[in-house]
Amino acid sequence: MSGPVADVGCGSGNITALLNGLGVDAFGIDLSPAMIALARRNHPGLRFEVGSMTEPLTEPVGGIIAWWSLIHVPDDEAPAVLAHFRRALRPGGLLSLGFHVGDGTRLKTRGFGGHPMRVHVHLRPPGRVARWLREAGFTVEARWLLGEDQAVLFARCG
Ligand SMILES: C[S@@+](CC[C@H](N)C(=O)[O-])C[C@H]1O[C@@H](n2cnc3c(N)ncnc32)[C@H](O)[C@@H]1O
């Protein structure tokens, strides 16, 4: 991988930590200062920053993992996020997206541990996400379907 991996929408940082444990130079970004504080507390020594995927990434990266985080961005903003990802990735870089399969939007009112919250979760057919990826300049290389309602896509930029 030429460059670090950005775990975008890293939440509590578990995937960032897992990647570092595998020898990958990964750092985390999340919109929520509370999640970044938790990630820093749980994984001291790793890099976590507050930021939004709706803004350009501030450094070039070799890979981006955005598992169950683009789900919070509405359809009309998602292609712009993928364009930011495409611009930040070095040639040949890999992007992985994890998301809920379906169609439409749900309001989520409970977070981890039952804490009250109000966030929208956008469900998508994998074909729609694959089309956005192609339109942003990615080649979809693999797709995992996890049960009936979760998917992970892997895409590479040219
Ligand atoms: C369901 S959690 C997923 C956490 C982690 N990726 C995982 O799979 O365990 C979604 C995370 O995305 C973050 N998020 C939502 N909108 C975001 C945005 N525009 N930019 C960055 N992070 C965002 C939320 O704060 C939350 O921590």
Range 118-147 average pLDDT: 97
Percent of the chain topping pLDDT 70: 99
Ligand 1 center to 31 CA (angstroms): 7
Question: Whose structure tokens read 């930590």?
Answer: 17
Query: Residue 101 carries which side chain, given as an amino acid letter?
Result: V
- For residue 142, which of 105, 109, 102, 96 has the smallest C-alpha distance? 96
Average pLDDT, the chain: 95
Q: Is residue 24 part of a domain?
A: yes
Assigned token pair, 57: 């990434």
Collapsing DSSP to helix, strand or coil, 45 comes out as coil
Q: How many other C-beta atoms are found inside a 10 Å radius of the C-beta of residue 56?
A: 14
Q: Is residue 137 part of a domain?
A: yes
Instruction: Band the pLDDT of 1: cuts 50, 70, 90.
Output: low
Question: Phi-psi region for residue 127, left (φ > 0), alpha (ψ -120 to 50) or beta?
Answer: alpha
Closest atom of ligand 1 to CA, residue 81: 19
CATH code of the domain covering residue 87 = 3.40.50.150
Query: Residue 29 carries which side chain, given as an amino acid letter?
Result: I
Q: Is residue 147 part of a domain?
A: yes
Looking at the structure of the chain, the number of domains it has is 1
Q: Is residue 119 part of a domain?
A: no
Q: Is residue 88 part of a domain?
A: yes
Ligand 1 center to 55 CA (angstroms): 14
pLDDT digits (tens, 9 = 90+) for 39-97: 999 999 999 999 999 999 999 999 999 999 999 999 999 999 999 999 999 999 999 99
Ligand 1: lining residues by beta carbon, under 6 Å: 8-11, 14-15, 29-32, 35, 52-54, 67-69, 72-73
Q: If you take atom 1 of ligand 1, which residue's CA is the nearest one?
A: 68
Instruction: Band the pLDDT of 158: cuts 50, 70, 90.
Output: confident
Query: Domain containing 130: what range?
Result: 5-99+126-157
Q: Kind and range of the H or E element at 39?
A: helix 33-42
Q: Is residue 111 part of a domain?
A: no
Q: If you take atom 26 of ligand 1, which residue's CA is the nearest one?
A: 11
How confident is the model at residue 2, as a pLDDT?
Answer: 83
Q: Is residue 115 part of a domain?
A: no
